[in-house]
């Protein structure tokens, strides 16, 4: 009996270690993007980002890219994006949080950022505060619906706040997983924005996808093709090709979980 108890304890401990070996509590990443306008010079931008989860995220049998969402992992996150192209400097700092209310299906999220845009030797030096907040509900496993508001406040300039609606759904179709997302900003006609995207998981480590966005504030729309690959539970790379009426975009990124 004693030997059986010892063996059972060792087995449970082994299963626990195996489960936790696939868990992570933080993620850091970097990115590079290039915007290629039809009638102007290209624009490069570099970015870094990081996320800390309050509790370890269990990957389980989920697509690795969706593990945190499916685990309802509350977190804080931040990012910096910077570009200096022929004296035109464009920098955005951002910090935010997501909170899944324990023992419920409610979700809270928010973000605040600052964009600094400056052109050397011109006197153009614009600073804009950006913010958004939303309240969501998860009516079914893998489904989040959230409403909120996003706004901006430009130094010595204008400001505004517009309502938002967002949905995200991760589910299985046959033997494969899919991710569907949509977001809308419903201000006046000049500020409306729309975004839809989908990802198809060939396996738990590899996805391909497509997206479409429309921004009436700059009267531009764009289609995109995306892909993401995890080489193991910790390291991933991703890329996107974007095609618009007046410009194309190319971006690559990498991340590490620990």
CATH of domain 2-257: 2.40.160.40
pLDDT of residue 30: 98
Mean predicted confidence (pLDDT) in 204-233: 93
Helix (H) or strand (E) holding 112: strand 106-119
Residue 98 has pLDDT above 90, yes or no: yes
What mean pLDDT is predicted for residues 64-90? 96
Tokens of 81: 């994006």
Between these two residues, 233 and 38, which has the higher pLDDT value? Answer: 233
Per DSSP, 69 falls in state: H
Kindly provide the residue ranges of all beta strands, DSSP E only, lying in the chain, ordered along the sequence. 24-37, 43-57, 75-85, 88-100, 106-119, 124-140, 143-154, 159-173, 176-185, 193-203, 206-215, 220-230, 235-244, 247-257
Q: What are the residues facing 112 on neighbouring strands?
A: 95, 131
**Dist. CA 147–CA 155, nearest whole Å:** 27
Q: Shortest CA distance to 212 belongs to which of 190, 254, 243?
A: 243
CA separation for the pair 218, 251 (Å, rounded): 21
H-run or E-run covering 203: strand 193-203
pLDDT at position 17 is 36
What's the CA gap between 63 and 197, in Å, rounded?
A: 17
Question: 101: which DSSP letter?
Answer: -
pLDDT of residue 20: 42
- Stretch 229-255: mean pLDDT: 96
Q: What is the pLDDT of residue 130?
A: 96
66: helix, strand or coil: helix
| CA-CA-CA-CA dihedral for 46, 47, 48, 49, to nearest 10 | -170
**Taking CA 69 as the corner, what is the angle to CA 35 and CA 177, rounded to the nearest 5 degrees?**
85
Written as six digits, the tokens of 6 are: 């010892």
pLDDT at 16: 35
Helix (H, G, I), strand (E, B) or coil at 121: coil
Question: What residues does 177 pair with on adjacent strands?
Answer: 172, 201
> How much is the average pLDDT of 181-209?
93
Q: Give kind and range of the element (H or E) at residue 68.
A: helix 67-70
Tokens of 62: 């989920």
How confident is the model over 7-30, as pLDDT tens digits?
433 333 333 333 345 799 999 999
Task: Retrieve residue 92's tokens.
Answer: 């955005």
- CB contact at 8 A, 70 and 64: no
> Would you state the pLDDT for residue 140?
97
Mean pLDDT, rounded, for 113-119: 95
Rounded to an integer, the average pLDDT of 103-130 is 94
pLDDT at 123: 81
Q: Does pLDDT of 3 surpass 60?
A: no
The 10s digit of each residue's pLDDT in 28-57 is 999 999 999 988 889 999 999 999 999 999
The confidence band for 60, taking pLDDT boundaries of 50, 70 and 90, is confident
Residue 1 has pLDDT above 70, yes or no: no
Across the range 123-134, mean pLDDT stands at 93
Report which secondary-structure segment, H or E, holds 16: helix 2-21
Domain boundaries of the chain, sorted by first residue = 2-257
Contact indicator for 181, 196 with CB cutoff of 8 Å: yes
pLDDT digits (tens, 9 = 90+) for 140-170: 999 999 999 999 999 877 888 999 999 999 9
Structure tokens given for 44: 């490069």
């Amino acid at each position: 009996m004693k030997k059986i108890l010892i063996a059972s304890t060792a087995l449970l401990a082994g299963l626990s270690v195996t489960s936790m070996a696939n868990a992570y509590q933080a993620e850091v990443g970097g990115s590079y993007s290039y915007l290629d306008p039809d009638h102007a010079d290209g624009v490069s931008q570099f970015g870094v980002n990081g996320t800390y989860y309050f509790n370890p995220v269990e990957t389980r049998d989920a697509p690795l890219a969706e593990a945190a969402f499916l685990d309802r992992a509350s977190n804080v996150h931040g990012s910096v994006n910077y570009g200096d192209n022929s004296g035109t400097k464009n920098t955005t700092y951002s910090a935010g949080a997501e909170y899944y209310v324990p023992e419920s299906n409610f979700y809270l999220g928010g973000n605040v950022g600052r964009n600094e845009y400056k052109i050397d030797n011109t006197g153009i030096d614009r600073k804009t505060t950006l913010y958004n907040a939303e309240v969501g509900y998860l009516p079914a496993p893998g489904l989040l619906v959230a409403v909120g508001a996003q706004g901006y406040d430009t130094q010595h300039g204008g400001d505004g706040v517009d309502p938002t609606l967002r949905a995200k759904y991760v589910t299985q179709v046959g033997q494969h997983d899919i991710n569907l997302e949509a977001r809308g900003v419903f201000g006046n006609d000049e500020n409306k924005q729309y975004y839809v995207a989908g990802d198809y998981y060939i396996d738990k480590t590899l996805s391909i996808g497509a997206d479409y966005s429309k921004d009436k504030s700059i009267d531009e729309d764009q289609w995109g093709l995306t892909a993401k690959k995890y080489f193991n539970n910790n390291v991933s790379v991703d890329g996107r090709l974007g095609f618009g009426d007046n410009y194309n975009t190319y971006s690559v990124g990498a991340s590490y979980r620990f």
